[in-house]
Each structure stands twice: as structure tokens, then as C-alpha cells.
Amino acid sequence: MKKITYLLFVLVFVFSCKNKENKKIEKTTSTKVEKQLLKIHKTKEAINIDGIANEKTWMQNKWQTMDEVWLGDSLSKTDFSGKYKVSWSNEALYVLAEIKDDTLIDKIEDPLERWWDDDCLEIFIDEDNSGGEHQYNHNAFAYHIALDGNVVDMSTKREGKLYNSHIQSKLTTENKTSLWEVKISLFDDSYSDSGTNTPVKLTANKKVGFAIAYCDNDKSIERENFIGSIPVEGEDKNRGWIDANIFGTLLLVD
């Protein structure tokens, strides 16, 4: 009887070690197919997050398009158009987004209630460009930035949570053109909702998973459109909040 118990113990131990090893392999082996590689230049100046694109960094940077319809019908330029620029420093990523939208809607008072159904800018970040599932974990983030500046993503408790400390933003609007200026601190996948976390320092040659999108509501109960920066294959294109494999890739260069 003792021999049988001992053998069972050995088998359980070996299986446990093998299982941990397999999980480790799954964690370190990316399934992401790299696409939409953008070389992003480091800023040589401090960027003031004031919603005014008067820094040389923005003047010298190239606009990228945001025109892939992930949800809803096709759009005319009179209803919506979007474009963006990205830069970086050792401390953060910087995003400038220009959105031309004929109607801005922020009707839901509670920032943790149906935050995706108001107009908002959504920025997807995968710090190590590993791809993979991130629906209720922090393998990647899907930051919804509301018109009032609140930042929401899903927590590990499977509910919306404010991540305002991750992002500083400023929105300015003139006529029907809105300019979003955003500073984003990056965190790796060891991030804990209940712990103390330190942002990752950025360096040249680092690759970051990235996409940007806009939730567009024109006075409806739900958003009518969701417009992103990258093509998504298949019928279900609204997968960025779950699947980091759809993200593009930023290559940080000096």
C-alpha cells in the first residue's frame, strides 16, 4: 500500500512539474503574427498634455489612418474621420488623435456602466507584444478614454475598473474636430489590481502591441460604430478587448 501511495505521489509530482513547464512555454511563446509594423521615433522634448499639438514632435510626425469599421455600417467622411500619431519617451507612450465627428455623446453618468456606448477613444496596449487573450487579465490593456477623461478597462474581477493613473489625457474640440493628446504609462503582465505596480521603462528597439479605435454614438441607446486602426479578419471584428493578436506593432526607435 505504501509503495502504491509513493508511486501515485511521484506521478502527481511529475505531472505537476510538466504542467508548469507547459504553461511557461505557452506564456513565453507568442502566437501573434506581426502586422502593421510602425517605427515610432523618440521625442526630443517634453510633451505638454494640453490638447494642443504645438510640439515639434507632433509637427514632424506622420499621421496614421483610423478608418477600419469594426462595428456598424460604412461611414462617410461627413459623419466621421480619424487619424493619429505616436511618439515615446523612457517614461511613456504619447498619442495624438484627431477625430472629426458630427456629434459627441457622453450621456451615461456612471463611468463604469456601458462605457463603450458613449463616444470614447480606445487605446489597446500589449507591453511586450506577445499577443494572446487578455479579456479578464492584464496580458494587455484596452483603455477606454471617455470625453471627461475617465479611463476604464476590464479588471481581473470581470468588471469595469478605473485606470486613471495609467493615462493622462486632454481633449479639445473646435467645431466638429476633436484633438486628443494622451500620455500612457506601460505595465507588464505581472500587473496586479490589488498590488503596487511600477511602469515599465521604455527603450529603443522595444516592440509594443498597439491599436487605436473610436466608439461613435450619434444619439442612440448604443454606439452605432466602432472604427479602428487595423484590419481585423473574419466576421467578428470587435475582438480587440479580448484578443491582443489583432494588435499592430510599434517599434520604438531613437
* Contact assessment for residue 226 and residue 182, using Cβ atoms and an 8 Å cutoff: no
- What does pTM read for this prediction? 0.86
Whether 102 shows a pLDDT value over 90: the answer reads no
Residue 39 grid coordinates = 517605427
Least confidently predicted of 1-15, 62-76, 193-207, 236-250:
1-15
Amino acid at 193: D
Q: From CA 195, how far away is CA 12, in angstroms rounded? A: 32
Whether 249 shows a pLDDT value over 80: the answer reads yes
pLDDT above 70: percentage of residues in the chain: 88
**What value does the mean pLDDT take over residues 144-152?**
96
Domains delineated in the chain: 32-253 (2.60.40.1190)
Residue 247: pLDDT band (50, 70, 90) is very high
**What value does the mean pLDDT take over residues 5-26?**
40
Whether 114 shows a pLDDT value over 80: the answer reads yes
Looking at per-residue confidence, does 77 or 39 come out higher?
39
* Contact assessment for residue 138 and residue 189, using Cβ atoms and an 8 Å cutoff: yes
Sequence-ordered alpha helix ranges (H) in 30-179: 56-60
Whether 162 shows a pLDDT value over 90: the answer reads yes
Write the DSSP assignment of 156-220 as a string of letters.
TTSSEEE-GGGEEEEEEEETTEEEEEEEE----TT--TTS---PPPP-TT-EEEEEEEEEE-SSS
**What value does the mean pLDDT take over residues 79-88?**
94
Residue 111: pLDDT band (50, 70, 90) is very high
Residue 74: pLDDT band (50, 70, 90) is confident
**What value does the mean pLDDT take over residues 89-110?**
92
**What value does the mean pLDDT take over residues 57-68?**
96
Burial class (CB in 10 A: 0-12, 13-18, 19+), 237: middle
